[in-house]
């Protein structure tokens, strides 16, 4: 985000260029974060087995849902860079206070009533709250329509949906194949990554246009 903030700072006197740059930065951030989180969720059992061993297999369910719970968190990062670039650190302070209060209330309640899965669910709710807070704040400080922001991400969502379906199909086909966990993880990740990039390309997304 440091190069992004520097880029924002150079054009902060041109509202139209700043809006376009912010939309590109948010889209590119989610292009990286969303498939990573979804991929981790879909292969959580393989990841746990490869990194921690079979004795930790019960932890896979937590990684599966925690990865999904944090999928929207990355959207806040470009807004953070934008607020600092236009010299509005007070915005970051207010959003941080909102996030802190939400975490204290929801995570504590989740842990008390539903144990670890309650904490994971609370983390997901906090991510959703901060996502919409970022959308509203971007509209306020950069004049970006919320519907336009959401439309800015539809190609990422569609590509991730195709990736997820293909990964689920592949994993179903590999059940009982006897493949080594590391090999299965590498194969699944490779196929999912190729499918994601191919779908982005098919939808007209080019990396050079995102930078």
74, 30 Cβ separation under 8 angstroms: yes
H helix runs in 43-153, sequence order: 44-52, 60-69, 76-85, 89-142, 146-151
pLDDT score at 210: 56
133, 95 Cβ separation under 8 angstroms: yes
Determine the structural domain holding residue 97 and report its residue range.
2-210
pLDDT score at 206: 76
Written as tens digits, the pLDDT of the chain (211 aa) is: 778 888 888 888 888 898 989 999 999 999 999 999 999 999 999 999 999 998 999 999 999 999 999 999 999 999 999 999 898 999 999 999 999 999 999 999 999 999 999 999 999 999 999 999 999 999 988 888 888 888 889 999 999 999 999 999 999 999 988 899 999 999 999 999 999 999 999 998 877 655 5
CA 151 to chain centre: 16
DSSP SS3 for 177: coil
Contacts of 187 (CB under 8 A, 6+ apart): 170, 174, 179
- For the chain, what is the domain count? 1
**Residues 196, 63, 186: CA angle, nearest 5 degrees:** 45
């Amino acid at each position: 985000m440091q190069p992004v903030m520097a880029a924002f700072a150079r054009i902060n006197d041109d509202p139209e260029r700043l809006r376009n740059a912010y939309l590109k930065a948010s889209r590119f951030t989610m292009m990286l974060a969303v498939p990573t989180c979804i991929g981790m969720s879909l292969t959580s059992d393989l990841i746990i087995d490869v990194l921690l061993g079979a004795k930790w297999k019960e932890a896979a369910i937590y990684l599966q849902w925690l990865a999904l719970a944090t999928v929207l968190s990355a959207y806040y990062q470009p807004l953070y860079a934008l607020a600092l670039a236009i010299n509005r650190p007070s915005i970051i302070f207010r959003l941080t206070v909102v996030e802190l209060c939400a975490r204290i209330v929801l995570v504590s309640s989740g842990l008390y009533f539903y144990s670890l899965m309650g904490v994971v669910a609370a983390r997901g709710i906090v991510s959703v709250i901060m996502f919409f807070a970022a959308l509203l704040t971007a509209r306020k400080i950069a004049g970006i329509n919320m519907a336009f922001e959401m439309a800015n991400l539809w190609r990422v969502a569609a590509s991730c949906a195709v990736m997820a379906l293909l990964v689920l199909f592949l994993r179903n086909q590999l059940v009982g194949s006897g493949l080594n966990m590391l090999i299965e993880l590498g194969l699944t990740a490779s196929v999912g990554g190729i499918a994601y990039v191919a779908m982005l390309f098919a939808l007209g997304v080019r990396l050079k246009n995102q930078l």
